[in-house]
Amino acid sequence: MDLDWPGCRNVRDVGGLPTADGRTIRSGVLIRSDSLQYLTPEGVEAVRRSEVSRILDLRSDREVGEAPTPFTGTPIAVRQLLVDPADPEHGQPTIVAACTWMLDRRPALFAAAVKAIADESEGAVVVHCHGGKDRTGMVIALALSVAGVPREEIIADYFLTQSRMAAWLEEQLADEPDAAKHPEMIEFRDTRAESLVAILQHVDDVYGGPEAYLRHGGLTTADLDRLRHRLVQ
C-alpha cells in the first residue's frame, strides 16, 4: 500500500502481502522507503502520524553525513550499515554483482538489519536507503521470505519501485549531458524484477535460502520466530 509522505517518492507499507499458508503480512509494522532526507515538513508530520517506532537507515556514513534526514540522531533512528566502512568500493559492473558482493561480504550486517525489525515490540519499522530499491529491497526480501511470503510476491513488490522512481531517473538522465554515462546510470538506478530474481537465486544457491543465510549471519531460531510473530497476521 502506497503511503503519502510528501517529499518521498517510493514509500509503501508491505502489509497485505499474502503468505504461502493463507495468512497476510500485518499492516502498520513494516514500511519500505526511499531516503527520508527528502521529506517536507508535511512529510515529517505524516511519518509521525504513521506511528513509526523505528527508522532503519541503511545508508553509508558518507551519505548520512551529506544528507541527514529530519530523524537522524533522534531516538527512533537506527543506523544499520550493510558494508563495513573499511570495505573497499565494490567496483562491480552490474547491480546484481554489487548486491551479491554485499551479501557475501557482510552477512552479519544483513542479519542485524533483519533482527532490528524483529526486535521492535510495537509500531512501524521503516527501512530505507537512498532510492529504497536495492539495499532496502534485499533487507525487505529477506524478512518477507522468513515470514513465508511467496517469492513471486516479493519480486512483484520490489518491481513496484520502477514505476515510483521512473520520473526521477528520467530527470537524472536529462541532467547528465554525457550520454556515455547513461548506461551505467540506468544499470544502477533502474529497478528490474530480474535483478532481485538473480540476487535471491544467489542466496538459494550459495546459502540454501534466505533463512539459512540469516542463520549464517547470526540469527537464532528465536530471532526468526520473533520476526514471523511480528510480521504475520
How do residues 209-223 score in pLDDT, each as one tens digit? 999 999 999 999 999
Q: What is the pLDDT of residue 130?
A: 94
Q: Report pLDDT digits (tens) over 52-96.
A: 999 999 999 999 999 999 999 999 999 999 998 888 776 788 999
Q: What is the pLDDT of residue 92?
A: 86
Q: What is the pLDDT of residue 186?
A: 82
Reading the chain (233 residues) residue by residue, the pLDDT tens digits are 899 999 999 999 999 999 999 999 999 999 999 999 999 999 999 999 999 999 999 999 999 999 999 999 999 999 999 998 888 776 788 999 999 999 999 999 999 999 999 999 889 999 999 999 999 999 999 999 999 999 999 999 999 998 888 888 788 878 888 888 888 878 778 899 999 999 999 999 999 999 999 999 999 999 999 999 999 98
Helices (H), the chain: 41-49, 61-66, 95-105, 107-119, 135-147, 151-175, 182-189, 193-207, 210-216, 221-231
CB atoms closer than 10 angstroms to residue 71? 20
The residue extents of the domains of the chain are 12-231
Q: What is the pLDDT of residue 104?
A: 96
**Domain 12-231 annotated CATH 3.40.50.2300:** no
Q: What is the pLDDT of residue 173?
A: 77
Q: What is the pLDDT of residue 145?
A: 98
C-alpha cell at 57: 537507515
Q: What is the pLDDT of residue 138?
A: 98
Give, for 56, the enclosing helix (H) or strand (E).
strand 52-57
pTM comes to: 0.93
Q: What is the pLDDT of residue 28?
A: 96
Q: What is the pLDDT of residue 134?
A: 94
The long-range contacts involving 49-53, CB below 8 angstroms and separated by at least 24 positions, are 50/3, 50/5, 50/124, 51/123, 51/124, 52/76, 52/123, 52/124, 52/125, 52/126, 53/120, 53/122, 53/123, 53/124, 53/125
